[in-house]
Chains A and B, each alone.
Chain A
Amino acid sequence: MHKDNQPLIFEITKEGRVGYNLPELDVPAVDLATLLPQGMQRVEEAELPEVSELDIMRHYTALSNRNHGVDSGFYPLGSCTMKYNPKINESVARFPGFANIHPLQDESSVQGAMELMYELQESLVEITGMDEVTLQPAAGAHGEWTALMMIRAFHEANGDTHRTKVIVPDSAHGTNPASATVAGFETITVKSNEEGLVDLEDLRRVVGPDTAALMLTNPNTLGLFEENILELAEIIHGVGGKLYYDGANLNAVMSKARPGDMGFDCVHLNLHKTFTGPHGGGGPGSGPVGVKADLIPFLPSPVLVKEDDQYTFDYNRPQTIGRVKPFYGNFGINVRAYTYIRSMGPDGLKAVTEYAVLNANYMMRRLEEHFDLPYNRHCKHEFVLSGRRQKKLGVRTLDMAKRLLDFGYHPPTIYFPLNVEEGMMIEPTETESKETLDAFCDAMIQIAKEVEENPEIVQNAPHTTVINRLDETKAARKPVLRYIKA
């Protein structure tokens, strides 16, 4: 084994060590052989670690030191809204009255939790301009699919069974077409025009009586506001389709424009993005869905309602699409989002959007002469640069992303959206200071210079990380997905 390898927990295990203690059994012991018929009791033990508590803490501390989070440094990962994760959220989610309650308890014993959920629903109704919100979906993609299933049920209830197509712009997140497929629709791609916006002519060409919905992110993944939103809505509604809002970029328009007022019929939100989830290394998220009145009958069951100052789960929903998740959603994430909304208030949420957008535009202007800017207009909360100028000099966007690691930054989202060559999607968020933005821009400008003067340093990056670029082909060709004792 290489001397620099970080040991796996299985490699520091030693027979006889323990990292726990349970209270002594206080009921009479029973021979398990009398409780479990032959063949039911496992013969080979599961090879879990045998380590002390300090071993565990050192192991995971070492791992955490090999990981970059928002608290480690700037993380301008476009479309992911990597803003500061407030610590009060973590404390509140751990209150025993929120963390240690069971979803099937008598409703009278969990009124506090239900009140919080109800208040969050109401806040999200106001923020999105929708008529009702469900908190059941576990993440953004889950919310997309939930909303599409509601749209499907809506059309079916109208006897409209020929609406089999969902339209998705070429700049959309990959989850959009995937969700459409899982919901049983065929995906039709609509092109973007030269300005980076949905091409209205192409949209008119692809819509028809078979259109179920158009899924739209606004601002889109280029960070540009779809200014023709009213025409878009008219085209879709004109053929009887529904307009779906992907809320991944809600941070760009809070208090400035509400999906409900723009003509959207339903929306999902990513509470782990706009509402400080946190991201958790990949989750858990939370993906509430808001709908206009005509979709309310199809909401997932149960629906949380308030009756005479008591909160209750309504299971009597004859037209519901069903249940998309056991219980009521990722409550622990919803607690954090609610805490955040209450920490910000209406004026705070407005400032969030204004500063997020100001930060993005400021960076875009600082960087525009050093990189190609394919769409040169005010952006919203994020913008996309192209590395095609650098590519001509033999340096790829991937190389520049790796070089950023040497400066202590998490790189932007790269090679996305698909309609930008060598794309770099930068989202600073409102919680970063001007000093941080400046330092990052300085690093980007230095890298652009290096590309011209000393490209090898970029091509061979990173130079300072615990590990160099890894052989991904080898990982995929002969996958090793678990530890096996040598």
Chain B
Amino acid sequence: MKHRYLPMTEQDQKEMLGVIGISAIDELFADIPEKVRFTGEYNIKPAKAESALLKELSALADKNADSRKYASFLGAGVYDHFKPIIVDHVISRSEFYTAYTPYQPEISQGELQAIFEFQTMICELTGMDLANSSMYDGGTALAEAANLSAGHTKRKKVLVSEAVHPEYIDVVKMYTKGQNISVVTVPTKDGVTDLAKLEELVDEETAAVLVQYPNFFGQIEDLTKVEQLTHAQKALFVVSANPLALGLLTPPGKFGADITVGDAQPFGISEAFGGPHCGFFAVTTKLMRKVPGRLVGETTDEEGRRGYVLTLQAREQHIRRDKATSNICSNQALNALAASVAMTALGKKGVQEMATQNIVKTHYAKQAFEKAGFEVPYQGAHFNEIVVKVNGSLADTNKVLLEKGIIGGFDLGRVNSDLQNHVLIAVTEQRTKEEIDALVQEMGALYA
């Protein structure tokens, strides 16, 4: 069989069989019991040549409405942000993307140092003492935080605010099942965690309180009060944060968070239909030895040269096996690299400028909706999302908007029956004034 990925020639094959001392490749599979041996070929589509396959898959991609062609106001955890061109040039260097986990530090210093820099940038944004090398995504990072908290406090209940992304809550419920941890949700009031309810629910059985910052509705939670109520019961304070917002907002570390997690997708990572994105996991020093996943640390060689290694591996599955508290192995290293490049390109000033544009443009959209007669029910401080109430069904709204070149917001009725006819609108720095005006006008026409 000739294929551009398969260098084997007939001559090679003959020589190799000779060295092995057999006459046919099939003999190497003789230990597979005949009863289970698969004979013949898979019933899958035949191979396509490069050019033909590119054509076919490009046509398939073109069936989708993408945020390059459409103005997207859809957020809810995944955002259309400016991605510096340089990101793809760096992560396309195949010394990075064709390597695996840096088990051999002498020939993996590039990856290790890049991760060390990523860990540092996440610490800077979150205000935490240390961060790991990445998790699958924000949702699973939050779930691991819940498990860590239960293990650390030896308590079996976690409280999660209903203003946390509903799919994140689902993942928390899923991850905690194995350890028989109960998950209790804390209701919201005016689009933020209901602090009175939280005070009622948090008790000496509570391992952790999980909130999102800014929350699922775009509102910015009052972390000072959440922290007080949480630590009063000696529970861990866990914040799921949007790292772009942290360019501008007081970081969770300043509020006394024990664990800050989130998804670095806003920094240089494509929406990609929901993944792969890049979870991060940052903690205070006291939790250092309980962090899931890989950590890169600095050290030296015998000549005093600085270098980086995977460290504190005694926490991990390949050492601890059934005593491990997390089973994570592969993570999202390449996306952590992408996020690092984006955070570097934007830098100290750019992250603030981009975050500012998000707030200000969202504020503009909010005023425009209100001017057009829409109700914006939550009036607290927001980041780049707002909730807009419409008078009528949202069932076909996004289909109509699509025809106008707009990807509309998220219909909150899909996840919360109390929020029928409420739509979550995200306005990033990518949206122009014209596009915002067009959205308000089209929605105005629909609900006039």
Contact = CB atoms under 8 A, between A and B. Distances in A.
Interface stretch (A36-44, A288-296, A442-450): A36-44
Given A102-B67, A256-B38, A342-B45, 20 more contacts: A56-B86, A56-B345, A64-B96, A67-B99, A90-B97, A92-B57, A98-B61, A103-B78, A127-B44, A256-B37, A322-B170, A327-B78, A349-B42, A378-B27, A380-B28, A430-B6, A467-B307, A468-B305, A469-B302, A472-B311
Contact of A430 (B8, B96, B220, B333): B8
A96 to B, nearest CB: 4
B425 interface: no
A159 interface: no
A91 B104 contact: no
Interface in B323-341: 323-335, 337, 341
Interface stretch (A172-180, A202-210, A236-244, A388-396): A172-180
Contacts of B15: 434
Interface string A294-322: 00000000000000000000000000011
B44 to A, nearest CB: 5
A331 interface: yes
B295 A481 contact: yes
Nearest to B313: A476
29 contacts: A6-B113, A18-B347, A25-B360, A29-B360, A35-B359, A46-B247, A71-B95, A101-B271, A102-B72, A102-B271, A104-B74, A105-B398, A106-B399, A109-B65, A113-B64, A145-B327, A177-B317, A177-B322, A178-B327, A272-B330, A282-B100, A284-B275, A285-B330, A322-B174, A323-B167, A325-B137, A342-B56, A358-B8, A471-B300
Contacts of B288: 479, 481
A200 to B, nearest CB: 14
A401 B353 CA distance: 48
A94 interface: yes
Contacts of A6: 109, 113, 306
Nearest to B320: A178
Contact of B19 (A29, A366, A466): A366
A91 B89 contact: no
Interface residues of A, number: 205
Contact of A178 (B44, B322, B345, B360): B322
Interface in B1-58: 1, 3, 5-9, 12-13, 15-17, 19-21, 25, 27-33, 35-38, 41-48, 50, 53-54, 56-58
Interface residues of B, number: 204
B190 interface: no
A201 interface: no
B407 A466 contact: no
A48 interface: yes
Interface stretch (B117-125, B154-162, B192-200, B440-448): B117-125
Contact of A227 (B32, B54, B343, B359): B32
A158 interface: no
Given A64-B96, A467-B106, A469-B301, A141 B317 contact: yes
B139 interface: yes
A255 interface: yes
A67 B54 contact: no
Interface in B220-253: 220, 224, 246-251
B287 interface: no
Interface in B151-196: 165, 167-168, 170-171, 173-175, 177-180
Interface in A144-167: 144-145, 149, 152
B286 interface: no
Nearest to A467: B307
